[in-house]
Amino acid sequence: MSTPRITLAILAGLALPGAANAANADAPSHDLARAEPIGTVTADFLFHDQMPTGLTVTTDGRRFVSYPRWGDHPTYTVAELVGDEEHAYPTKQINTLDIAAPAQHLVSVQSVVAPGDGHLWLLDTGILPASGYDKAGPLARGAKLVSVDLATNTIDRRIVLPDHAALTRTYLNDVRIDTSKGRAGIAYITDSSFTGPGAIIVVDLASGQAWRKLSGAASTSAENGFRPIVEGRYMMLDDGQGTPRVPSIPADGIALSPDGTTLYYSALSGRTLYSVPTAGLRDRDLPDEALEEQVEAIGEKGASDGLLMDAAGRLYATDYEHNAVHVLEPAERDSEWSTLAYDPRLLWPDTLSIGPNGDIYVTANQLHRQSQYRAGHDARNKPYVLYRIQADARPIPANHGQDSAPGRP
């Protein structure tokens, strides 16, 4: 199998770290070459206060976003975007931080996903804002999945993850829901722990049972020697108080194939795309050593935060090093990646979602400009932006093209 490659836009004028600034202030600006945008990218919503990460657009066009509390100390951690306004969702009360009852309130939601079955799933890391997402783990009974009935805008399920699934340093990052498996569906979650092992966490939505797969495996770990370059400089963890170091963040982006049989994933600190059969993830008795033999390294795709697959089997990946979103045509892995959109405004493209008109939505939140990456100086320039990229995508149906049935494996 040939290794897919990304067709990247050439970033004219990009200064690599340590390179001299050769710009001539006297040169006429109209004579200078510059990078040309690719694709049609339109600002859809402006965030003037809170930093968004997670995003989902429902089949009828409702937009939901999440704001983990480490971003800008938000007053609510999930919102619905209505026109040009943000409304705490599903209520202000449930978004009120309550350390005494973390299972009943939202602590810090990283991801929101509407799988198309009339529900919105909220992935709560359970980590307090003051503790730092890179230094601590979830509160007891704080790491959880919460389901909201979109017809009534009320919570109908809470699944608190057990300690053997959400470890003391676990960071729940992204989630995909497959309602065609099991009695009520299966959730696949990436663990992006800064200081613990990366993993795929599998949750049986009927029983609430959860288990870890590929915990600490090479495919769910940060890539050795990975050094990202964002906006022309090496991205380093540097709070101005110690020695800068390269961030080492494991499994992050995640996508599910249209038939639900294959899970795609990648580390935030890495450029390699991996896949694994979901049957092996759901098999609690299959040792990780045996499951690792089923993992396939698809090839390089760029450094991504978010992954997404559409109903036609196209795989989309953000590229935070190049302000871009790439697409790999249906799962024939002999094909090459192409660039759906490149735009200098896509400053840290994070989460992807498909709108009812076929466009791709993406949050751009300037994560790399946070103070912990800029020697203690917050270099973000609000507003953050939700962008819409012209495309022809369709979301995967909730049942992944299969009829739900009790006892489905």
Q: Note down pLDDT in tens along the chain; length 409 residues.
A: 444 544 443 333 344 444 445 445 555 556 799 889 999 999 999 999 999 999 999 999 999 999 999 988 899 999 999 999 999 999 999 999 999 999 999 999 999 999 999 999 999 999 987 655 556 789 999 999 999 999 999 999 999 999 999 999 999 999 999 999 999 999 999 999 999 999 999 999 999 999 999 999 999 999 999 999 999 999 999 978 889 999 999 999 999 999 999 999 999 999 999 999 999 999 999 999 999 999 999 999 999 999 999 999 999 999 999 999 999 988 555 678 999 999 999 999 999 999 999 999 999 999 999 999 999 999 999 999 999 999 999 999 987 866 543 333 3
- Domain at 155, CATH number: 2.120.10.30
pLDDT at 137: 85
**How many residues appear in the chain?**
409
- Total number of domains in the chain: 1
Please give the helix or strand (H or E) that residue 282 lies within, else none.
helix 278-282
Task: Please indicate, yes or no, if residue 345 is contained in any of the structural domains.
Answer: yes
pLDDT at 398: 84
For 41-166, where are the E strands, in sequence order? 41-47, 55-57, 63-66, 78-82, 85-88, 109-113, 119-124, 144-149, 154-160
For 10-136, where are the E strands, in sequence order? 41-47, 55-57, 63-66, 78-82, 85-88, 109-113, 119-124
DSSP label at residue 37: P
Task: Please indicate, yes or no, if residue 236 is contained in any of the structural domains.
Answer: yes
Task: Please indicate, yes or no, if residue 108 is contained in any of the structural domains.
Answer: yes
Q: Domain of 170?
A: 35-389
Backbone conformation region of residue 237, classed left if phi is above 0, alpha if psi is from -120 to 50, else beta? beta
pLDDT at 14: 40
**Triad 47, 369, 11: Cα angle to 5°:** 100
For the chain, give me the number of helices (H) and strands (E)?
A: 3, 26
Tokens of 76: 């609510």
DSSP label at residue 150: T
d(CA 323, CA 9): 10
Task: Please indicate, yes or no, if residue 123 is contained in any of the structural domains.
Answer: yes
Task: Please indicate, yes or no, if residue 172 is contained in any of the structural domains.
Answer: yes
The helix/strand/coil state of 246 is coil
d(CA 330, CA 341): 18
pLDDT at 399: 79
Cis before 383 (ω within 30): yes
Which residues does 32 contact at the CB level (< 8 Å), separation at least 6?
13
Sign of the C-alpha dihedral, residues 30, 36, 42, 43? negative
Task: Please indicate, yes or no, if residue 182 is contained in any of the structural domains.
Answer: yes
CB 395 within 8 A of CB 386: no
Task: Please indicate, yes or no, if residue 16 is contained in any of the structural domains.
Answer: no
For 10-107, where are the E strands, in sequence order? 41-47, 55-57, 63-66, 78-82, 85-88
pTM of this structure: 0.91
Tokens of 43: 């600002």
